[in-house]
Amino acid sequence: MPETYAFERSKDMRKKKVTSSDIAHAAGVSQATVSMILNKKYNVSFSKETIRKVEQIAEEMGYEVPKRKTRRESRKEKLIVVFCSNLTNPYYVMLLQGIESRAKEQGYGLFVCNTQRDLKMEERYLRMMHELKPLGIIYTCNPSHCFMDTIEGLAEKIPIVIINNQNEHLNVDAVELDNSKLGRMMAKHLLELGHRKVAYIAPPLTTRQKQRSKRVEGFLKEFDAVGLKGNVIIKAANESIDMSIPNIDSEYKIGYDLTKELLREHNDITAIVGLNDMIAFGILDALHEEKYKVPADISVMGCDNTLFAKMHKVSLTTIEHFVVFKGRDACDIIMKKILSQNSQYSEIQPISTYHVEYEPRLIVRGTTSYAKTKKGKN
């Protein structure tokens, strides 16, 4: 027969919730002993009698072991969701770096949704927001147009920031990126160096990726202003590329393949521009294979000033538009809105209160120089 243990239960104890201290007092052991036994943590060896005694008294007194929060519950407390379209491009990695560094400083966690420019995947992630219950959402590019109403609906409940192109009519906060200005800066640099016959290589220029077209339009405007718009060759990848999952070298391959094609069709080009640095790296490798010297024969230019552009062997001329800082700014806006949500944000419509924009800067390195008067290979 197991032993029974007598203890006096006062009227006060019946009224108040039983604690581990009460169990310890009744069993004649320490509170730490009670905690370890009832939580099944036998780090210290206890006798069977002590274990049985504590468990029996706890049961008779109606003691309940406090439930711990699950990992999932803990994560939901301070969670920010970040939508990215392509993590194979260092540009988006740099944005994430800026967002995460700022979030970490303030104790927030990130949930990254890599949509890979797939509409179904983007829709799937948006449906998950109800379950994830993030405190805020950051889009590192423009949302697909078919989900604009969904985004505005979410913005009525939680803060949303979009790192986007200017003039997008969406009532959420934005960290602005004037892609037209970036294109104009690239064109001005080449015109000042005497380049009159140039090519521009880009990913698919679709309505879904409006920021790409804006950069190209800005470039063309500068050449048009001096009557040379007809001297710009635009080579954009086939739209089917955006329909497939991006490989690690997708944008590099666009630059490489379209440059090879360009060289077969034209022999009088003095400069080639990549819509971003990754495309420019592909351009450089294609020119190297075809025995062209950069910049002696053909100048090359990119945009974004990613890590590899700065490497000595590459030394790519590019445009710096402070990508990491934009990520930090987007996170700052989200956190400000989260802090004010209980007092004022929930009582107003989601209007574009915050608009942040940096002035881009031309970074001249070793891949651009004055145009050759005589075209072709040496």
CATH code of residue 48: 1.10.260.40
Q: Is residue 346 located within the same domain as residue 274?
A: no
Tell me, what's the pLDDT at 339?
Answer: 84
Q: Is residue 112 located within the same domain as residue 227?
A: no
Tell me, what's the pLDDT at 286?
Answer: 98
* Strand residues in the chain grouped as ranges (E): 79-84, 109-114, 136-139, 160-165, 173-177, 198-202, 232-236, 271-274, 299-301, 318-320, 355-356, 361-363
Q: Supply the pTM of this predicted model.
A: 0.74
Q: Is residue 369 part of a domain?
A: no
Q: Is residue 6 part of a domain?
A: no
Q: What percent of the chain has pLDDT over 70?
A: 83
Q: Which of 208 and 287 is assigned the larger pLDDT?
A: 287
Full residue range of the structural domain in which residue 41 is found? 11-61
- Which residues, 6+ apart, have CB-to-CB distance to 75 below 8 Å? 109
Residue 97 has pLDDT above 90, yes or no: yes
**CATH code of the domain containing 291:** 3.40.50.2300
Read off the pLDDT of residues 61-91 as tens digits, 9 standing for 90 and up: 888 776 665 555 544 568 999 999 888 889 9
Tell me, what's the pLDDT at 176?
Answer: 82
CA atoms within 13 A on the CB side of 72: 3
Q: Is residue 201 located within the same domain as residue 312?
A: yes
How many domains does the chain contain in total?
Answer: 3
The secondary structure of residue 352, as a DSSP letter, is: -
Dihedral over alpha carbons 77, 78, 79, 80 (to 10 degrees):
150
Q: Which of 172 and 207 is assigned the larger pLDDT?
A: 172
Report residue 324's pLDDT band, with 50, 70 and 90 as the boundaries: very high
Q: Is residue 192 part of a domain?
A: yes
Average pLDDT over residues 352-365: 83
Q: Which of 162 and 199 is assigned the larger pLDDT?
A: 199
Q: Cβ distance 86 to 117 under 8 Å? A: yes
Average pLDDT over residues 23-28: 88
Helix and strand numbers (H, E) in the chain are 13, 12
Residue 98 has pLDDT above 90, yes or no: yes
